[in-house]
Amino acid sequence: MKKPTPHIEFIKKTLWIAVPIMIQTAITNFVGMLDNIMVGQIGTNQMTGVSIVNQLLFVFNLMIFGGTAGIGIFTAQFAGKRDQKGLMYTLRLKMMMGILLSALGIGLFFFKGSSLISLWLSNGSSAADIFQTLKAAGSYLHVMLMGILPFAVTQVYASTLRENGETRVPMVAGITAILTDLVGNYILIYGHFGAPKLGVVGAAIATVLSRFIEMAFVILWSHSHTTRFPFMKMAYCGFGVPRNLTVSILIKAFPLLLNETLWSMGQTALSQQYSRLGLDVVGAFNISSTIANVFNVAFIAMGDATAITMGQALGRMTDEEDRRLIRYDANRLAIISVVLCVISGCFLALTSRFFPMIYNTSATIKTTASMLILVAAAFMPVYAYENASYFTLRSGGKTWITFLFDSFFVWVVSIPAAIFFTRCTHWPIVPVYIAVQSFDFIKCLIGYLMVRQGGWIHNLTEYVKE
């Protein structure tokens, strides 16, 4: 009988994958926090405008993530089999997907950006505040459009490297980019070292510049290490992909693309519903989500580690004993994720009193932000378990199930709950937020039952023939 990897060795192996992702995500979110604070020093309206645009770009970013991740299910399993042709084909499909989605995103935001931004501007706010917020958001969005394509290309390469076990290079590329962003923000937002004082436009320029640098880094590194990754030198010798492989991948990838798009739109819709309680709520959520993102790195990184570890294991699976070990390892990964998030949630709670004080905004917004941070900290282990369940189910190609588990739940349960509590009660934002988030306990139960059932355990590469 095959024995599972000893616990200590398994934890080491998992952290070897997760820690570089965690470091990159933590630094990215930390610098994003500093950016947010810098913009917040300009004024509440500017901070709110940038926050709204970032909510919209969040939808696009997750579309890219969903499109590449759906194909990445096959990339991870081909990596487990060391199938270089399969890896080459998945890289080509990812690039096509990234370019297509970038074109759609740029077109939508260019022509409909102002209309989308206006959805967050509550009539309960003053006309002057609404005007200033819309002006700041529009200026920021128009510059950020130039960073959409390089972001997509970076995700194509970085995700492919991670699925092949190389997590340090995307980390270094990300750190290089965010340091560029941080320095650029300091210079361009406030006009240091003789540069013009550009405010939110300066923040956008710095971000776009950092994305081009990150893209150049991962592309140059990938194509200069073809001995380690032979499929890279064949990547653009042509653009063909076998039809049956394309169909097999797209059948699995489309539900994940749809899921990430609808889920991100669902989160944006939730934000828009909460904004019905006033622009102060938008500002408070901006502050709380900024610091929460820094501590969310634990379950984000563990999600990626779960997808990579499970995907490679499924690609190597040959018998029923392997199936048993894979299910056992999936449970261990979920436990590690929850434990890490209990720890990070405690640290997040400790920031709730002092972090909002950094912002140049009203006392009401600061108080509300503090309470929202505590709620986010309390629910972090819940998010960790449902995230681990999602990535486990996804690793075996059960993308329609993950669609029902994830975005379907948001639109059928969470959003109707938010609509009810914001329109049919007189509750303030904190109890409304707690009530809506409490429905995630149902999602955890569903995830537990699905993972335990084991129907997600499939070696997809067995059914892919040239």
- Kindly report, residue by residue over 92-129, the tens digit of the pLDDT: 999 998 999 999 999 999 998 888 888 777 655 677 77
Q: What is the pLDDT of residue 24?
A: 63
List Cα–Cα distances, 163 to 177, 264, 376, in angstroms: 21, 23, 30
C-alpha–C-alpha distance, residues 388 and 188, integer Å: 39
Q: What is the pLDDT of residue 420?
A: 93
Residue 457 pLDDT class (50, 70, 90 cuts)? confident
List Cα–Cα distances, 187 to 369, 396, 466, in angstroms: 28, 47, 53
Residues 317/326, Cβ–Cβ less than 8 Å: yes
Q: What is the pLDDT of residue 19?
A: 77
Residue 306 pLDDT class (50, 70, 90 cuts)? confident
Q: What is the pLDDT of residue 31?
A: 60
Give domain status of residue 318, yes or no: yes
Give domain status of residue 254, yes or no: yes
Q: Tell the burial category of 276 from Cβ atoms under 10 Å away from its Cβ (0-12, 13-18, 19+).
A: middle
Mean pLDDT of the region 20-35: 66
Could you read off the pLDDT of 346-390 as tens digits, one per residue?
999 999 988 888 887 788 889 999 999 999 999 999 999 988 888
How many separate domains does the chain show? 1
Give domain status of residue 215, yes or no: yes
Q: What is the pLDDT of residue 329?
A: 83
User: In percent, how much of the chain has pLDDT > 90?
Assistant: 23
C-alpha–C-alpha distance, residues 345 and 371, integer Å: 14
C-alpha–C-alpha distance, residues 270 and 214, integer Å: 31
Give domain status of residue 105, yes or no: yes
Residues 295/380, Cβ–Cβ less than 8 Å: yes
- Tell me 412's DSSP state: I
Residues 302/97, Cβ–Cβ less than 8 Å: no
Q: Mean pLDDT in the chain?
A: 83
Q: What is the pLDDT of residue 261?
A: 78
Most confident of 172-186, 232-246, 278-292: 172-186
Q: What is the pLDDT of residue 417?
A: 93
Mean pLDDT of the region 65-83: 82
Residues 351/373, Cβ–Cβ less than 8 Å: yes
Closest CA to 54 of 282, 214, 365, 278: 282
Give domain status of residue 1, yes or no: no
Could you read off the pLDDT of 409-422 as tens digits, one per residue?
889 999 999 999 98
Mean pLDDT of the region 136-145: 90
Residue 55: pLDDT above 70? yes
Q: What is the pLDDT of residue 156?
A: 93
Structure tokens at 278: 């006033």
Q: Which residue has the higher pLDDT, 257 or 161?
A: 161
Kindly report the length of the chain. Answer: 466
Give domain status of residue 2, yes or no: no
Most confident of 12-21, 44-53, 320-329, 433-442: 433-442
Residue 424 pLDDT class (50, 70, 90 cuts)? confident
Give domain status of residue 424, yes or no: yes
Q: What is the pLDDT of residue 205?
A: 93
Angle of helix 320-350 relative to helix 7-42, nearest 10 degrees, comes to 40
Could you read off the pLDDT of 234-243 as tens digits, one per residue?
888 877 788 8
C-alpha–C-alpha distance, residues 196 and 200, integer Å: 12
pTM score, whole prediction:
0.71
Q: Which residue has the higher pLDDT, 59 or 388?
A: 388
C-alpha–C-alpha distance, residues 60 and 144, integer Å: 12
User: In percent, how much of the chain has pLDDT > 70?
Assistant: 93
| Residue 373 domain boundaries | 7-463
Structure tokens at 416: 């109707």
Phi, psi of 196 (to 5 degrees): -70, 150
Most confident of 150-154, 177-181, 257-261, 279-283: 150-154
Q: Which residue has the higher pLDDT, 73 or 40?
A: 73
Angle of helix 44-81 relative to helix 84-118, nearest 10 degrees, comes to 160
C-alpha–C-alpha distance, residues 444 and 407, integer Å: 14
Structure tokens at 395: 């690793």
Q: What is the pLDDT of residue 463?
A: 45
- Residue type at 332 in one-letter notation: R
Q: What is the pLDDT of residue 466?
A: 44
Q: Tell the burial category of 424 from Cβ atoms under 10 Å away from its Cβ (0-12, 13-18, 19+).
A: exposed
Q: What is the pLDDT of residue 354?
A: 87
Give domain status of residue 321, yes or no: yes
